[in-house]
């Protein structure tokens, strides 16, 4: 069992006045749950109305302050008074907690969500927040025979980012030997590689972490890259899996040997030395956004200044007082541009398509000391706060992404999606004064047609600075001194930052992966048409598992950490099936794989990001969505909870 699930809240020793000062910034729904845990009494839930989900547009619309859960400031202060009384009674009895029976817990879940829940959702919440301290996601092998079989089941994990570290922790906990191959000199994956100015996650940090290893010390609600990398590095250190990682080493090829039923993994280190590892299974945790894609622009190599990809930002680069170009207007550019606008002499933004953005006043906001105090000291506050972040991000806008086949408006895909378009349009219009600039930055495609971004006003403010120009004319060529656009202008610059994305449709690229009977994975996927059952297993490739594989990217379904835990849970239970049955390999049945992918394609095609009028990085060059998972997290959790042996061929 992961020991942190059993961790108790720290004692509350502060004076009431000091506590009162800490409460203003706290999450009201989570506070209500903590009150019930401290008192054992659900009476407060009848005195305070249930929370409601509000979107960020509504919360930022002006007028009376609206807090998380839709509470007014006066309602929040009522909860604060209830909390102070609960804390006083809790301390008076020595900080002991009453036991809550299952019926009370079920009432809390339903109060938090605002409606009656079916058994499946109740089971999901119980597992996710583990109020009882029971870890249901690890692999527990009960018999000595299973433990002995596990010890003789070596696994190679490719990548030491979020997914790879998680897989190593869980395998190590189960007694399954593993070796992690990491091409970088450190842990973190995309968060190790991306360190451009302003690089941060765009989901709340308190849900961008492993469920069994909460981090109460994020400095910002949306943490910067270095802090995220440090979190995963600490997890690897604390769970003693760093010793299993071979850094500065890259997987060159992986070949399945039919005769032995094992994988031979060829690796090469930073000095060019090759080695071959033999494994019973291979877990790819390389992700989707790990190979930068420079733009194919004529003359790119002729530029005399600094030209680089945002994911390979030069160490120590100082662009103060320089003329800088940013090519791209997606997620990375969105974070880079406000930073460069503050230091460059002139910044030219080459935009092919504008981005929809949610207004988020807290996007750069530090986590206050009150919040850190509550996460550590208020019983169960941290668990309920994490669940609130998860629930509101997964359920809040899902319906607005679904396409209505009878909807005819090209700028939206349904009536609900059009309401969102109008709200987001109004917010952008409120930020931009120049009609010419507004015409450039206001999208004409449906919300969620491309990746939707978070903004606290800094991006649109940056575009309106006198030293910033937004260019929408297409780029014709790069010269020795700058960028020439299709309108004939030469934009002279000293540096070019290419925020142009990744080879997102080339999964496991550039490794040569060869499966049963010499079948090439690259050929089976036709290069850019990756498909996998549940995004995890692939026919013809026994005991090959993917984390963050084809069609597992989340668009509106919360933190990718949730999906990683579901995928690792499934992989662990596939391994358990092999150990229990004494089999060498399992391989996904082709018919099962095909039926699943037909469903994925059909559901994706009926979304804002899958509609034909939208071009985005989620789609491959044939227009098929290869990146995104179209299901709710609860649906995917159920699909990956336990493998069905009938889906596989065992050998």
Residue bearing tokens 């100082």 = 318
Reduced to 3 states (helix: H, G, I; strand: E, B; else coil), residue 566 is helix
Q: Which residues pair with 520 in a beta bridge?
A: 514
DSSP 118-180: -HHHHHHHHHHH-TT----SS----SHHHHHHHHT--EEEE--SHHHHHHHHHHHHHT--EEE
319/367 same-domain check:
no
pTM: 0.95
pLDDT tens per residue across span 552-600: 998 875 788 989 999 999 999 999 999 999 999 999 999 999 999 999 9
**pLDDT at position 390:** 82
73 located within any domain: yes
Task: Give the closest residue to 454 by CA, choosing from 414, 415, 427.
Answer: 427
Same domain, 282 and 391: no
- Among the listed residues 432, 508, 568, the one whose alpha carbon sits nearest the alpha carbon of residue 135: 568
Same domain, yes or no, for 268 and 370? no
Final residue of a domain: which of 450, 468, 498? Answer: 498
Residue 148 lies in a domain: no
In a domain, 286, yes or no: yes
User: Could you tell me if 9 and 131 lie in one domain?
Assistant: yes
With respect to residue 142, please indicate whether it lies within any of the assigned structural domains: no
Residue 147 belongs to a domain: no
Where do the DSSP E strands lie in 159-248?
178-181, 245-246
The enclosing domain of 304 has a CATH number of 3.50.50.60
Asked if residue 590 and residue 441 are part of one domain, the reply reads: no
- Bridge-based pairing state of the strands 586-588 and 648-650: antiparallel
User: Is the separation of the CB atoms in 360 and 335 below 8 Å?
Assistant: no
User: How far is residue 282's CA from residue 571's CA, in Å, rounded to a whole number?
Assistant: 10
Give the residue ranges of the chain where pLDDT is below 70: 1-8, 55-64, 394-396, 557
User: What is the reported pLDDT for 3?
Assistant: 45
Residue 322, in any domain of the structure: yes
Do 285 and 418 belong to one domain?
no
Looking at the structure, tell me whether residues 383 and 474 fall in a common domain.
Answer: no
pLDDT at 1: 40
Verify that 445 and 304 share a domain, yes or no. Answer: yes
- The answer to whether residue 141 sits within a structural domain is no
124 plus 234 within the same structural domain: no
Report how far residue 314's alpha carbon sits from residue 195's, in angstroms, rounded to the nearest whole number: 9
Specify whether 311 is located in the same domain as 450.
yes
User: What are 284-294's pLDDT values in tens digits?
Assistant: 999 888 889 99
Range of the domain at 36: 3-136+363-395
The angle at the Cα of 467, spanning 462 to 473, to the nearest 5 degrees, equals: 85
User: What's the length of the chain?
Assistant: 651
- Going by DSSP bridges, is the β-strand pair 468-471/346-350 parallel, antiparallel, or unpaired? parallel
Which of 477, 498, 519 is the last residue in one of the domains? 498
Give the end of a domain, one of 466, 498, 530: 498
pLDDT at position 58: 59
**One domain for residues 127 and 84:** yes
CA atoms within 13 A on the CB side of 315: 2
Between the two ends of the chain, the Cα-to-Cα distance in Å is 31
Which pLDDT belongs to residue 128? 87
145 within domain boundaries: no
pLDDT of residue 395: 67
Is the same domain home to 415 and 391?
no
Number of domains in the chain: 3
């Amino acid at each position: 069992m992961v020991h942190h699930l059993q961790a108790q809240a720290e004692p509350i020793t502060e004076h009431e006045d000091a506590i009162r000062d800490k409460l203003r910034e706290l999450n009201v729904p989570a506070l209500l749950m903590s009150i019930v845990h401290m008192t054992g009494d659900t009476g407060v839930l009848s005195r305070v109305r249930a929370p409601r989900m509000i979107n960020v547009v509504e919360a930022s619309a002006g007028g009376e302050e609206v807090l998380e859960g839709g509470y007014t400031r006066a309602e929040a202060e009522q909860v604060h008074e209830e909390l102070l009384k609960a804390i006083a009674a809790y301390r008076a009895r020595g900080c002991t907690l009453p036991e809550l029976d299952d019926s009370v817990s079920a009432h809390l879940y339903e109060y938090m969500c605002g409606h009656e829940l079916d058994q499946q959702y109740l089971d999901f919440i119980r597992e996710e927040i583990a109020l009882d301290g029971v870890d249901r996601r690890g692999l527990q092998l009960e018999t000595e025979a299973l433990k002995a079989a596990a010890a003789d089941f070596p696994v190679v994990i490719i990548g030491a980012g979020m997914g790879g570290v998680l897989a190593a922790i869980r395998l190590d906990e189960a007694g399954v030997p593993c070796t992690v191959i990491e091409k970088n000199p450190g842990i973190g994956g995309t968060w190790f590689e991306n360190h451009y100015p302003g690089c941060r996650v765009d989901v709340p940090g308190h849900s961008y972490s492993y469920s069994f290893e909460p981090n109460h010390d994020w400095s910002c609600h949306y943490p910067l890259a270095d802090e995220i990398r440090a979190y995963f590095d600490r997890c690897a250190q604390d769970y003693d899996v760093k010793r299993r990682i071979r850094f500065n080493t890259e997987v060159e090829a992986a070949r399945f040997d039919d005769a032995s039923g094992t994988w031979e993994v060829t690796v090469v280190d930073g000095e060019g030395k090759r080695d071959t590892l033999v494994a019973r299974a291979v877990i790819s945790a390389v992700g989707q956004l790990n190979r930068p894609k420079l733009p194919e622009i004529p003359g790119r190599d002729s530029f005399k200044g600094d030209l680089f990809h945002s994911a390979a930002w030069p160490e120590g680069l100082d662009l103060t007082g320089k003329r800088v170009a940013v090519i791209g207007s997606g997620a990375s550019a969105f974070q880079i541009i406000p930073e460069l606008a503050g230091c460059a002499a002139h910044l030219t933004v080459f935009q092919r398509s504008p981005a929809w953005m949610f207004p988020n006043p807290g996007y750069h906001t530090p986590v206050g000391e009150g919040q850190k105090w509550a996460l550590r000291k208020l019983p169960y506050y941290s668990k309920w706060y994490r669940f609130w972040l998860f629930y509101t991000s997964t359920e809040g806008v899902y319906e607005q992404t679904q396409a209505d086949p009878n909807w005819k408006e090209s700028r939206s895909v349904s009536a609900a999606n059009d309401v969102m378009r109008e709200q987001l349009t109004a917010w952008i219009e409120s930020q931009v004064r120049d009609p010419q600039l507004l015409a450039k930055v206001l999208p004409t495609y449906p919300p969620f047609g491309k990746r939707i971004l978070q903004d606290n006003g800094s991006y649109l403010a940056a575009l309106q600075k006198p030293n910033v120009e937004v260019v929408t004319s297409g780029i014709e060529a790069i010269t020795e001194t700058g960028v020439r656009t299709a309108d004939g202008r030469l934009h002279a610059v000293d540096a070019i930052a290419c925020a142009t994305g990744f080879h997102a449709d080339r999964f496991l690229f550039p490794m040569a992966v060869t499966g049963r009977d010499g079948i090439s994975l690259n050929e089976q996927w036709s290069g850019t048409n990756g498909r996998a059952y549940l995004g995890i297993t692939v026919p013809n490739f026994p005991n090959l598992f993917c984390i963050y594989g084809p069609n597992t990217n989340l668009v509106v379904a919360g933190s990718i950490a949730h999906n990683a835990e579901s995928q690792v849970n499934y992989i662990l239970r596939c391994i358990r099936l092999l150990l229990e049955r004494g089999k060498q390999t399992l391989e996904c049945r082709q018919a099962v794989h095909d039926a699943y992918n037909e469903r994925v394609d059909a559901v994706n095609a009926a979304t804002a990001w899958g509609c034909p009028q939208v071009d985005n990085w989620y789609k491959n060059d044939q227009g098929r969505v290869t990146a995104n998972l179209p299901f709710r997290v609860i649906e995917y959790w159920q699909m990956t909870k336990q493998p069905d042996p009938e889906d596989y061929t065992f050998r």
